[in-house]
Amino acid sequence: MSGRASTRVAVLLGGRSAEREVSLVSGAECAAALRTAGYSVIEIDAGPDLVQRLADASPDVVFNALHGRWGEDGCVQGLLEWLGIPYTHSGVLASSVAMDKVKAKEVFAAAGLPVAEGRLVAKAEAAAGHPLPPPYVLKPYNEGSSVGVYIVSEGANGPARLAPDAPDLLLAETFVPGREMTVAVMGDRALAVTDIVAASGGWYDYQAKYAAGGSSHVIPAQIPREVEDACRDIAVRAHKALGCRGLSRSDFRWDESKGVAGLILLEVNTQPGMTPTSLAPEQAAHAGISFPDLCAWLVEDASCLR
């Protein structure tokens, strides 16, 4: 503990992405946990003066609690590489590829991992007609937290009514029915499988993710052993295929009617939510790792790169 007191950790939070509010909560929780673990901690809301604030703070390690664009897509990672400051979670390449859903799917497919069929479409094309046979999903190819996602149901009369601020390029994917599940990977270890049940009975959207009572988490998931093993294996392989380090979280859909063959990898989140009740920390707690210990492990994992 005494060695930790001399380690200065700058927690980056907030930022300017669509996930700013989520990041503020994650960052504050991580900062509190790191103080409990014995570190000297400063919180930095990542803005235009980030370089100057990092220079003033002179941290030994940066704990990256940013979510979404600029914080999760390799941008801030590249800045920290330039400044020579070790940082938590994945590096520049893994972060940028994971955030680009099209490129990530190509990596997963090349590694033999199960992904949904889909393609990149222009906003105008998606608004003019069905880019895929319904049911299908339309989503930004470079956002997280289910921001800007549309589900076009089977039998829909027309295409999605896109918001005026929808991005110019969207990923259209075949809708995969079934249960929503997730697996956190810590280093090279899959922690658990969580079954996510949205309170609305619908899909795991932004409201279900972050509103109080929006969803319930069943851990461990009550699923056949072979499906659990497949989830764990795919999550670790996806983590390695992207070149992730630290902590990641792989999200799945599972069509029970097809057994293991109904398991589809949706995406890998290189900056999973980091509150004590977020999915990855919940799985760590299930594995006997407290939230302060998880945050401390991430700092030590980053420090070893110095």
| Residues 41/42/43/45 CA torsion (nearest 10 deg) | -150
Q: What is the pLDDT of residue 24?
A: 95
Q: Give the range of the structural domain holding residue 224, as residue numbers without chain letter.
A: 97-114+177-270
**Residues 107, 199: one domain?**
yes
Residue 237 CA to residue 269 CA, distance in Å, equals 14
Taking only the tens place, the pLDDT of each residue in 21-63 is 989 999 999 999 999 999 999 999 999 999 999 999 999 999 9
Q: What is the pLDDT of residue 160?
A: 86
pLDDT(210) > 70: no
**Residues 77, 205: one domain?**
no
Number of domains in the chain: 3
**Residues 198, 103: one domain?**
yes
**Residues 232, 181: one domain?**
yes
**Residues 103, 220: one domain?**
yes
**Residues 262, 182: one domain?**
yes
Residue 290 lies in a domain: no
Residue 275 lies in a domain: no
pTM of the model: 0.89
**Residues 82, 107: one domain?**
no
**Residues 130, 155: one domain?**
yes
Query: SS3 breakdown of the chain: % helix, strand, coil, rounded to 5?
Result: 35, 25, 40
Q: Which residues are catalytic?
A: 19, 145, 210, 249, 251, 267, 269, 273
Residue 25 lies in a domain: yes
**Residues 39, 68: one domain?**
yes
pLDDT(133) > 50: yes
**Residues 107, 214: one domain?**
yes
Residue 9 lies in a domain: yes
Residue 151 lies in a domain: yes
- 61 DSSP β-pair partners: 9
Q: What is the pLDDT of residue 253?
A: 96
**Residues 108, 189: one domain?**
yes
Q: At what angle do helices 75-83 and 92-99 cross, to 10 degrees?
A: 170
Residue with tokens 């889909």: 118
Residue 103 lies in a domain: yes
**Residues 151, 211: one domain?**
no
